Amino acid sequence: MKIKVPKTINDLRIKHIDILNDEKYRGEDIDLDTIVNFVAGITGERLDKIKQVDKEDLYKVFYYCIDLFDGFKITDPKKIITIEGLDYKLVDPMKVGIGWHIDISKSDFEKNPALLAASCYLPVQCKHYGETDEYSNIKYPRFERAEIFNNHMDLPTYLNVLTFFFLESMKQMKRHTAFQKRELRKIKVFGFGSN
């Protein structure tokens, strides 16, 4: 029986994040049922088909899938990516409008990791994040991009964007904390608040 496995890490998509992050697939005492579920999740094959595979072959596929990450290194995200024939440009968090920051702060990226990618990449024809048409409708809704990215963005591109976003968030938090401290000092200097 043949099982179609990803050839490289580039064949994995954002939709695979949940299975890769699941704690039950880590550790040394993984049982056969757990391995079957992992292989089914990574390959997209039905459970009943995976359960027909020889035990030794199942282990080979399992370790092969785990080894896909060997040698992977985080790099800077690409400024332009192409998915399903459409080009998308990377957002610069320092130059994007406040609407982007509000949407980011209200998003649950754990539940919907593709939403982060959709927030960080806009269609190249988009003038700015949150662009609207003449009827005040959002022209390029990020939830539509998230659905496309979930199934078609390769995992390395997503991991690079995730790291970029995290590092940028840390920089902005440091700036915000410094700003808050400066404002607190001003308040104390003018006699408000306590020392």
Rounded to whole angstroms, how far apart are CA atoms 62 and 76? 29
122-159 per-position pLDDT tens digit = 999 999 999 999 999 999 999 999 999 999 999 999 99
192 or 90: which leads in pLDDT: 90
Percent of the chain past pLDDT 90, that is, above it, reads 59
Residue 135 and residue 53 share a domain: no
Residue 148 and residue 102 share a domain: yes
In this prediction, residue 94 carries a pLDDT of 83
23-76 per-position pLDDT tens digit = 888 777 789 999 999 999 999 999 999 999 999 999 999 999 989 988 889 999
Highest mean pLDDT pick, 50-59, 96-105, 170-179: 50-59
Task: Residue 39: name the closest of 54, 29, 28 by CA.
Answer: 54
Residue 154 and residue 94 share a domain: yes
Residue 88 and residue 141 share a domain: yes
- For the chain, the domain total comes to 2
Q: Is residue 74 part of a domain?
A: no
**What is the four-CA torsion angle of 21, 80, 88, 169, rounded to 10 degrees?**
50
Q: Is the pLDDT reported for residue 195 higher than 50?
A: no
Q: Are 193 and 184 a contacting pair, CB within 8 Å?
A: yes
* Average pLDDT of the residues in 163-189: 64
Q: Is residue 170 part of a domain?
A: yes
In this prediction, residue 147 carries a pLDDT of 96
Residue 114 and residue 22 share a domain: no
Rounded to whole angstroms, how far apart are CA atoms 115 and 98? 17
Residue 109 and residue 153 share a domain: yes
- The separation between CA 76 and the C-alpha centre of its own chain, rounded to angstroms, equals 14
Q: Is residue 174 part of a domain?
A: yes
Q: Would you say the C-alpha torsion 185, 188, 189, 190 has a positive or negative sign?
A: positive
Rounded to whole angstroms, how far apart are CA atoms 3 and 9? 17
Residue 36 and residue 109 share a domain: no
1-32 per-position pLDDT tens digit = 688 899 999 999 999 998 888 888 877 778 99
Query: Domain residues for 54?
Result: 9-67
Residue 128 and residue 172 share a domain: yes
Q: Is the pLDDT reported for residue 191 higher than 60?
A: no
* Average pLDDT of the residues in 179-183: 58
Q: What is the DSSP letter of 82?
A: E
Residue 62 and residue 24 share a domain: yes
Q: Is residue 194 part of a domain?
A: no
Query: Does residue 1 sit in helix, strand or coil?
Result: coil
Confidence of residue 178 (pLDDT cuts 50, 70, 90): low
Q: How many CB atoms lie within 10 A of CB 130?
A: 19
Residue 139 and residue 106 share a domain: yes
Residue 86 and residue 165 share a domain: yes
Find tokens 């880590």 and name the residue: 26
In this prediction, residue 185 carries a pLDDT of 60
Q: Is residue 118 part of a domain?
A: yes
Residue 36 and residue 132 share a domain: no
